[in-house]
Chain A
């Protein structure tokens, strides 16, 4: 391939991913607000545009036109860097995510590793933001976020290793390809050969909720305890970037879950059925957004856990279970494979 086409392709993908991340962040806020409203028997945003569909744009315009206040005494470089650092890795991660067989920017051999590596940068950004704010609530929040993310990264990685064992690859495309042939072949279900599939999925889902700081594990934000946690002192697009980063991370978590457990772009139906059985990016997006909707539902249904029970859940339940799960899966692979 010639260099010009390569550069062109790169730019297209980069612009596309930034737009995708931003549009997702904006419209997931709308989905969240509208969803919350209907769960709570309200109307939700409805003034700006039909069904309030232009509300995210209005919010974005408002955030961008506000002053970015840097409080006195904060650690300036860190304070400014932190929101950027939440957004950049999120966009980087999109590079490796295969939305379909053809729509992917880079097909890495170790795509999974790269996603997890970049995902853990997010913690650093939240820690920096909290620490640099020089606000006690923000510092408490940063400490919470760090302990929470470290605690949940471990079971998450163990689960990922389990999937890698089953698929025999760290390449996301190959992991998806291993699940071809309808719903019965998905890693989610025991019919795939690994009867621990559902447990693996549940642990992974809980971990991804905790990793993205979503309710009921939103201890970093905990608005009734810590005001707004690490972004208490942020205004304007500083806050906006944290916000977008949060939603971008949710999208990534949902996409990763789709890839690892739900057969990526493959249809749940056998390929022999015309149209519905064909694999396409539509299936990927449907699965991803259903997962995101599940995350939204959970947020508006459950109260928040305490930090201690959160950490106990990880260290005392999820980590032993995921280790056991890894061993059992490894044994199964050895026996059956």
Chain B
């Protein structure tokens, strides 16, 4: 804590929230200037888990950089895998077999659900409700088991390769996914009954942390934060990639812009993920999961390339500059929560400490992804 004595006459005081604090879910530090229980100013201080992934991108070959993608947002690593392999495939002109595309979508959406489930539990934990966390983990565990069977890892996946997927999925996995879809369909109404309808929770979230659509635009916020402010923007629809155009799903949008809206967006998104998985499993074709001719050394044509995908927390984009070599000349990773968190300072002014933390939780932060 601070070295300054707490003087009675000092009306405002600084409070260090973090870098080790239960509510920041990682090593984020927020320098708060408090007036009693009110936040006068909140300045996030980043960089406690900064690993310079962008420099690593310049020092490794395109293929060697693949595992780094799992270490950015460890909760929805497959979205990042997908963004990166799609970018490199675009650069090198590699065609991906259709079955691989379907597997990618199924596993990415499973991963998205697991990410949202963990957020759901951790968010209610932030609000003081401990029990939903364990229920969410119970469900998430099923996803991790399924994904472990195909990808070989439980958290920091590195499953997609340029031109396809590392290995084919078995029927067990697909039937397991369908069973999980069925299971979560029964669980989500329970979550709504137990948590969403709870009067204390609604009181804590409704009207707390309003973020207008204009503010989102000015700060570049994306993902559920933007959709919770009434903007229908989901890259899976707006900038279709992979096989998403062939699948029928909705983009949940809530116009209120408060924490409750962001909460509902993510809860509804899980249902949509289930629909995507179901359709993809119904449609998945037979065939190879790797393109036949993938060069061992990928040397994309010089120039710069941009590719954005919808990760669980918003737009994840990579700008890669190639000089024609086997490794990137410059690799820029645009992480969604970096922008989402940047509006915290402005939006949290004048909030109560408890509301500020509820608001922070509703932004769904993953610190390794912010700090990269």
Contact = CB atoms under 8 A, between A and B. Distances in A.
How large, as a class, is the contact surface on chain B? 20 to 34
Contact of A136 (B15, B198, B200): B15
A140 B131 contact: no
Interface stretch (A121-129, A201-209, A297-305): A297-305
Contacts of B134: 40-42
Contacts of A39: 131
B265 to A, nearest CB: 19
A150 to B, nearest CB: 16
Given A222-B128, A225-B23, A303-B127, A139 B198 contact: no
B354 A306 contact: yes
A215 interface: yes
Contacts of B203: 305-306, 309
Interface in A259-303: 300-303
B131 A224 contact: no
Contacts of A300: 130-131
Nearest to A301: B131
B138 A224 contact: no
Which interface residue of A136, A143, A215 has the most chain B CB atoms within 10 A?
A: A136
A216 to B, nearest CB: 6
B2 interface: yes
Contacts, number: 86
B200 A216 contact: yes
B129 interface: yes
Contacts of B124: 303
Q: Is the interface of A mostly helix, strand, loop or mixed?
A: loop
A224 B23 contact: yes
B130 A40 contact: yes
B13 A224 contact: no
Contacts of B125: 224
A36 B133 CA distance: 12
A57 B348 CA distance: 45
Nearest to B195: A303
A307 interface: yes
13 contacts: A135-B1, A136-B1, A136-B2, A136-B15, A143-B36, A224-B22, A225-B357, A301-B129, A303-B200, A303-B204, A304-B128, A307-B354, A309-B203
Interface of B: 1-2, 5-6, 13, 15, 21-23, 34, 36-37, 124-131, 134-135, 138, 198, 200-201, 203-204, 352-355, 357
Given A302-B200, A306-B354, 9 more contacts: A36-B130, A40-B130, A41-B134, A42-B134, A140-B15, A144-B37, A223-B22, A225-B353, A307-B352
Give 6 nearest A-B pairs by CB, closest first.
A304-B128, A303-B129, A40-B134, A303-B127, A306-B354, A303-B128
